[in-house]
Amino acid sequence: MAEHESLEFGKADFVLLDNVSLEDFMANLKLRFEKGRIYSYIGEVVVSVNPYRSMNIYGRDTVEQYRGRELYERPPHLFAIADAAYKAMKRRNKDTCIVISGESGAGKTEASKYIMQYIAAITNPNQRAEVER
């Protein structure tokens, strides 16, 4: 389960919604966004809402919070997905991929950059591969 985020931020994983409806989904997504939580899970999938502004959630400290952790051990984040994919690749000794999908302007290119910079940071610990925006 995602690290004990208070319910004031809504449900971090949409699988945990009491009622599965478009209205409840959108209300939870809106609440999380308004509280600064741009990432949510639907099981092992991360849903992101482009904030159209810089956020201080991609730095070295955040990299360290997600490095080597299990997917639900920390709050939803792209770094959790990137770490899970990297660990799966290493464990299976096979290539892996992360599918990033969304409409134009949704932030797919930025998400790709953050994921690549996270992988660079965890595989090259001597370099300061901090994500900056």
Answer yes or no: is 107 a known binding residue. Answer: yes
Give, in order, the Cα–Cα distances in Å from 96 to each of 39, 86, 99, 112: 22, 8, 10, 14
Answer yes or no: is 35 a known binding residue. Answer: no
Answer yes or no: is 43 a known binding residue. Answer: no
Answer yes or no: is 87 a known binding residue. Answer: no
Strands 39-42 and 45-48: antiparallel
Cα–Cα distance, 121 to 108 (Å, whole number): 20
Answer yes or no: is 94 a known binding residue. Answer: no
Answer yes or no: is 40 a known binding residue. Answer: no
* Structural contact between residues 46 and 114, judged by C-beta atoms closer than 8 angstroms: no
Strand partners, 41: 13, 46
User: 27 CB contacts (<8 Å, ≥6 apart)?
Assistant: none
Annotated binding site for ATP: 102-109
Annotated binding site: 102-109
